[in-house]
Amino acid sequence: MRAVRLCLLILRLGVAICIALGRARRKDWLGALAQTLTGGGDKDGAGAGDDRDDGDGDREDDDLLLRLAALCRGFGAQAVRGDACRGRASRNLAHFLRGRGAAQVLLGIKFNGLIKARAGGGGRGIRKVERVEDAAKAFIEARAEGEAVFGDGECYMEKFVAPAHHVEVQIMADKQGHVFSLGERECSVQRRNQKLIEESPAPCLDGHDDIRARMHKAARDLARAVGYEGAGTIEFLYSDDGNFYFMEMNTRLQVEHPVTEFVTDTDLVKWQLRVAAGQPLPFEREDMPVRNHAMECRINAETPDFLPSCGTVTALRVPGGPRVRWDSAMFTGAKVPPYYDSMLGKLIVCAPTRDGAIRKMRSALGELVIEGVSENSELQLDVLANDEFLSGMYHTDLMGHLYADE
């Protein structure tokens, strides 16, 4: 229960900060926050000290407020007047921070938070924060990367879950209000927060049908609550203690959608277009059953040292066979520039079992030939031979066990 309370407190703090940042100029808001935290601000003193204990509790909270005020100044807050705290968002945030719960969250050695650019994608604009004093630098870096890459520097904060599995639920919804979940995918093989291998069903949920059902229901409920239409993906972080946490929703088809198409025998692209035309989805169950096991490897243009590779494709030979699929626009003579995403194509296989899918993927990777640019099929083969991956109980830090992340 204590962990749940801490998570909720962090979430409330992040939401309050986002609201306040959206309603006031940055320096004014930060200055007002710094002033409020050190005892200035509301003339009526509402909320100040209402929930504090005497003695050590007061000193602990005072230390918290001083630390947070310093943190605000690190963001760029300047000296402020006594009446600088204006606006309901700033006052509510100050009242919340004065509570003992905030002291327990922010004064601990472990902060375990992520600051993320709201427009981010592909692992960009994310910074981990383990200590309060590091939050200012992390925020500045995440904001700068968000502005440079996505043209949007707004950020939010979420709980850092580790070790964790990255599990996402595919949903489809029509204009008639029907929402369906079409299995889930595990995407825990990542490098620099970028997915490399995806598979369905998620091996981490084997033997946990109750958790799988709750995760799928949560995804459908979320889509239904916002009136969503079309194809989308609800992404979760799942921990080994059985808890899962909402991370984000991708309101589109994702790179890895062919994995779901294999295990559900459903053309997601076709049904996305039909839903847009007003047709109802014909599925009989809210949670569509999956059959077999599918896996996808992203083939990226990069060197064995993880450096970008560009040039002209001089030869291309792709694997074939039953339930082997190659999705790509690449051809012999195609030029691979250094300016865009490095993915050259997607190799997808399907087999009756996970072991069978792994064997089929190894064979398909061995048949794939791309010359003229370097690609990462050897890295994919290394992962497919790793004992942790083969066990099915791997986490998002798997690549850190295999390669230096540089």
Question: Are the C-beta atoms of residues 193 and 126 closer than 8 Å to each other?
Answer: yes
Can you tell me the distance from the alpha carbon of 349 to that of 360, in angstroms, rounded to the nearest whole number? 7
Q: Do strands 194-200 and 293-300 pair parallel, antiparallel, or not at all (unpaired)?
A: antiparallel
Question: Are the C-beta atoms of residues 249 and 234 closer than 8 Å to each other?
Answer: yes
Q: 2-23 vs 26-37: helix axis angle to the nearest 10?
A: 130
Can you tell me the distance from the alpha carbon of 243 to that of 290, in angstroms, rounded to the nearest whole number? 23
Can you tell me the distance from the alpha carbon of 296 to that of 193, in angstroms, rounded to the nearest whole number? 17
Residue with tokens 């290394």: 382
Q: Is 252 a catalytic residue?
A: yes
Can you tell me the distance from the alpha carbon of 347 to that of 95, in angstroms, rounded to the nearest whole number? 53
**Residues with Cβ < 8 Å from 254, sequence gap 6 or more?**
168, 233
Secondary structure E strands in 209-366: 230-238, 244-250, 293-300, 311-312, 315-317, 324-327, 335-336, 343-351
Can you tell me the distance from the alpha carbon of 168 to that of 231, in angstroms, rounded to the nearest whole number? 13
Residue of 88, 131, 192, 252 marked catalytic: 252
Type of residue at 145: E
**DSSP secondary structure code for residue 229 in this structure:** -
List, by residue number, the catalytic residues. Answer: 252
